[in-house]
């Protein structure tokens, strides 16, 4: 049966049924107008104030020519203004392009060019990077917003974004945003030398929020620290946006400094915290850990890589009242795909858990055929969480969705009762300190250095970084290349987290009969580097 109404009635029904990311803040503000929404330093904002600020910013963006479908790049550390822009853009259907603040000007320039961003907003400390990126991208004109965290005056050509949210029309903008209108363009590293732009819609994001709420035990009475970068989908969409959806209170920190995180938990009576394993380890090792009142903390989350079993045991011993969840996924899944529950942490240590509420997961071979239990296969998913595709790249989108499943590029093994263990990466991704690093990008950069015959880049197990970027280099005959030469070259061209922590010079790389470099052999051969050498300064 199909309802047939006049165009005017269809429009009215569609508008009344709208449930976009931008609507979530408004509805929470109507439920909890006076409840604390965001705390950022001395600033404490209620949900009514947050919603009004987002509305004013949305109207300001409209007045400056931005509309539904336009892209706005955001280059900043965590701050109140970041939160406002995330929801102001969603209210308008403007596509937010969060940019990794560790990238250099050339890397940011690629994102600006590829996304076709019509506006960029940058934190004052990152303005030189933004200026360099705009120049490298050949962008002349367009809106340039300035987040003045240091109090510096915006230079010519830049507008202070605080003027956008502080004054003006605070009524909700009347914009129809459909379930699958793109709202986020998240750039994710791949094995290619350039990142891909994963498009996420309200349908993708809200389905994922519901999964996090139900399977992640989240609630409106949570008080959460957000210290990991909000440019990353984990902090922004597993945690911050879910808190807004529910009406929880968010404490924003600019970075995961262990002392600041511990002090904030005690001061704000924080109940909930997400950190990748590297940050949980840094908290455990900090001298303030045992003298700080952490009694309010009840929920802990980790992801990006597996938590070492000994660290899990230590966390449960030193924080006995904290339940832990492991979230596994990827940007293209908005990002959660599987979850390991608190009662499963030690019994299933190292597992990524089972398919989450709104997700179906299985393992397939290279032909897309399901593999038997206990057999290694590629991890694939069906879910409304999934990306709409890669912006401007039909070929990569078609490959990623071959057979009607989203192909993660990760390899895993599944038990008969559906517990997934991630065993390798089909696309040879390195996950270091919670960040994805594409080995091919690093290899191509190192190949730009004179004197390089061959190079292989891979990750090795590391007690802090979980995986450390490692490069094994074969110099050209007759050259005087040194490991320091490679480190110096990387420092000039790569963001800090991408640079090799270890560089090894060798006469030859192990290869199979067809000439393929055997990275697994290299990982095994150099597995002990983390215990033998001091890593390079990133």
Summarize pLDDT for 252-279 with one digit per residue, the tens.
999 999 999 999 999 999 999 999 887 8
Chosen domain end from 410, 429, 446: 410
Q: Which two tokens stand for residue 335?
A: 């990002």
* pLDDT (mean) for 286-292: 96
What pLDDT, on a 0 to 100 scale, did the predictor assign at position 422? 87
The answer on 295 and 393 residing in a single domain is yes
The answer on 474 and 335 residing in a single domain is no
In a domain, 171, yes or no: yes
- Domain residues for 521? 437-532
User: Percent of the chain, pLDDT > 70?
Assistant: 96
pLDDT category at 434 given cuts 50, 70, 90 is: confident
Axis-axis angle for helices 127-137, 105-115 (nearest 10): 60
In a domain, 150, yes or no: yes
Please, are residues 335 and 295 in contact by the beta-carbon 8 Å criterion? no
What pLDDT, on a 0 to 100 scale, did the predictor assign at position 391? 98
> What tens digit of pLDDT does each residue of 10-25 get?
999 999 999 999 999 9
What pLDDT, on a 0 to 100 scale, did the predictor assign at position 164? 98
Q: Say which CATH number the domain at 456 has.
A: 3.30.300.30
Hey, which of 142-151, 198-207, 449-458 has the most confident mean pLDDT? 198-207
pLDDT exceeds cutoff 70 at 440? yes
pLDDT category at 359 given cuts 50, 70, 90 is: very high
Please, are residues 186 and 330 in contact by the beta-carbon 8 Å criterion? no
> What tens digit of pLDDT does each residue of 465-524 get?
889 999 999 998 889 999 999 999 999 999 999 999 999 999 988 875 445 678 888 989
The answer on 486 and 398 residing in a single domain is no
* pLDDT (mean) for 35-60: 98
pLDDT category at 43 given cuts 50, 70, 90 is: very high
In a domain, 390, yes or no: yes
The answer on 482 and 445 residing in a single domain is yes
The answer on 263 and 129 residing in a single domain is yes
What pLDDT, on a 0 to 100 scale, did the predictor assign at position 537? 66
What pLDDT, on a 0 to 100 scale, did the predictor assign at position 1? 72
User: Percent of the chain, pLDDT > 90?
Assistant: 78
In a domain, 432, yes or no: no
The answer on 442 and 405 residing in a single domain is no
* pLDDT (mean) for 301-306: 83
DSSP state of 39: E
In a domain, 196, yes or no: yes
What pLDDT, on a 0 to 100 scale, did the predictor assign at position 533? 67
What pLDDT, on a 0 to 100 scale, did the predictor assign at position 384? 98
Task: Indicate the Cα dihedral angle 84, 89, 91, 92, nearest 10°.
Answer: 150
pLDDT category at 151 given cuts 50, 70, 90 is: confident
The answer on 473 and 406 residing in a single domain is no
In a domain, 421, yes or no: no
Spatial distance between the Cα atoms of 327 and 314, rounded to a whole number of angstroms: 19
What pLDDT, on a 0 to 100 scale, did the predictor assign at position 426? 65
- From the list 77, 31, 70, 69, the residue with the least C-alpha distance to 50 is 31
The answer on 449 and 322 residing in a single domain is no
Q: Which two tokens stand for residue 224?
A: 């959460």
> What tens digit of pLDDT does each residue of 501-514 get?
999 999 988 875 44
Q: What would the 3-class secondary structure string for 203-266 be?
A: HHHHHHHHHHHHHCCCCCCCEEEECCCCCCHHHHHHHHHHHHHHCCEEEECCCCCHHHHHHHHH
In a domain, 295, yes or no: yes
What pLDDT, on a 0 to 100 scale, did the predictor assign at position 437? 83
Q: Which two tokens stand for residue 37?
A: 């929404």
Return mean pLDDT, the chain. 93
pLDDT category at 444 given cuts 50, 70, 90 is: confident
What pLDDT, on a 0 to 100 scale, did the predictor assign at position 191? 38
Give the chain's radius of gyration (CA, Å). 23
- From the list 285, 338, 353, the residue with the least C-alpha distance to 315 is 285
The answer on 469 and 371 residing in a single domain is no
Count of domains forming the chain:
2
| Strands across the sheet containing 452-462 | 452-462, 466-475, 502-505
The answer on 240 and 140 residing in a single domain is yes
Q: Give residue 396's Cα distance to chain centre.
A: 20
Q: Say which CATH number the domain at 266 has.
A: 3.40.50.12780
The answer on 519 and 404 residing in a single domain is no
- From the list 364, 500, 483, the residue with the least C-alpha distance to 430 is 500
| Strands across the sheet containing 36-40 | 43-46, 36-40, 249-252, 223-226, 272-274, 299-303, 323-329, 336-340, 354-355
Spatial distance between the Cα atoms of 23 and 1, rounded to a whole number of angstroms: 29
Q: Select the more confidently predicted residue: 517 or 333.
A: 333
In a domain, 11, yes or no: no
The answer on 476 and 358 residing in a single domain is no
- From the list 287, 315, 310, 278, the residue with the least C-alpha distance to 299 is 315
Q: Report how far apart the first and last C-alpha atoms of the chain are (Å, whole number).
A: 61
The H-or-E segment that residue 13 falls in is: helix 7-16
> What tens digit of pLDDT does each residue of 179-222 get?
999 999 999 864 345 789 999 999 999 999 999 999 999 999 99
């Amino acid at each position: 049966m199909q309802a047939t109404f006049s165009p005017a009635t269809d429009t009215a029904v569609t508008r009344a049924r709208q449930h976009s990311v931008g609507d979530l803040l408004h509805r929470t503000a109507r439920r909890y107008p006076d409840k604390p929404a965001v705390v950022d330093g001395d600033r404490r904002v209620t949900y009514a104030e947050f919603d009004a600020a987002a509305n004013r910013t949305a109207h300001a963006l409209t007045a400056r020519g931005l509309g539904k479908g336009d892209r706005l790049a955001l280059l900043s550390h965590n701050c109140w203004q970041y939160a406002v822009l995330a929801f102001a853009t969603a209210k308008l259907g403007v596509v937010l392009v969060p940019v990794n603040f560790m990238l250099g000007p050339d890397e940011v320039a690629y994102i600006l060019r590829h996304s076709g961003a019509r506006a960029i907003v940058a934190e004052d400390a990152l303005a030189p990077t933004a200026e360099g990126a705009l120049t490298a991208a050949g962008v002349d004109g367009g809106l340039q917003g300035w987040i003045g965290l240091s109090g510096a005056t915006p230079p010519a050509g830049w507008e202070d974004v605080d003027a956008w949210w502080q004054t003006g029309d605070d009524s909700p903008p009347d914009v129809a945003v459909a379930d699958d209108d793109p709202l986020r363009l998240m750039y994710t590293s791949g094995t290619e030398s350039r990142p891909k732009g994963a498009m996420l819609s309200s349908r993708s994001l809200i389905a994922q929020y519901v999964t996090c709420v139900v399977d992640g035990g989240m609630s409106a009475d949570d008080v959460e620290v957000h210290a990991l970068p909000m440019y990353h989908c984990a902090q922004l969409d597993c945690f911050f946006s879910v808190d807004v959806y529910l009406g929880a209170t968010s404490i924003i920190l600019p970075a995961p400094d262990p002392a600041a995180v511990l002090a904030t938990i005690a001061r704000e009576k924080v109940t909930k915290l997400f950190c990748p394993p590297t940050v949980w380890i840094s908290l455990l090792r900090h001298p303030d850990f045992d003298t700080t009142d952490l009694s309010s903390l009840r929920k802990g989350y980790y992801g990006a890589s597996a938590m070492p079993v000994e660290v899990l045991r230590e966390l449960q011993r030193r924080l006995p009242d904290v339940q832990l969840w492991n979230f596994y996924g990827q940007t293209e899944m908005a990002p959660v795909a599987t979850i390991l529950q608190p009662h499963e942490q030690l019994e299933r240590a190292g597992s990524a858990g089972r398919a989450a509420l709104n997700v179906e997961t299985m393992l397939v071979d290279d032909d897309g055929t399901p593999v038997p239990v206990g057999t290694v296969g590629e991890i694939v998913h069906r879910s409304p969480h999934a990306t709409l595709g890669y912006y401007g790249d039909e070929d990569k989108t078609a490959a990623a969705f071959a057979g009607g499943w989203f192909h993660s590029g990760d390899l895993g093994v599944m038990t008969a009762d559906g517990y997934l263990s991630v065993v390798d990466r089909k696309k040879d991704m390195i996950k270091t300190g919670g960040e994805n690093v594409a080995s091919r990008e690093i290899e191509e950069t190192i190949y730009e250095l004179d004197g390089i015959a061959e190079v292989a880049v891979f990750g090795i197990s590391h007690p802090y970084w979980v995986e450390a970027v490692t490069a094994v280099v074969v110099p050209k005959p007759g050259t005087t290349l040194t490991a320091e030469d490679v480190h110096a070259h990387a420092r000039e061209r790569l963001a800090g987290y991408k640079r090799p922590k270890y560089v090894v010079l060798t006469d030859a790389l192990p290869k199979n009969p067809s000439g393929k470099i055997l990275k697994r052999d290299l990982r095994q051969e150099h597995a002990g580097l983390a215990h033998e050498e001091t890593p390079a300064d990133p």
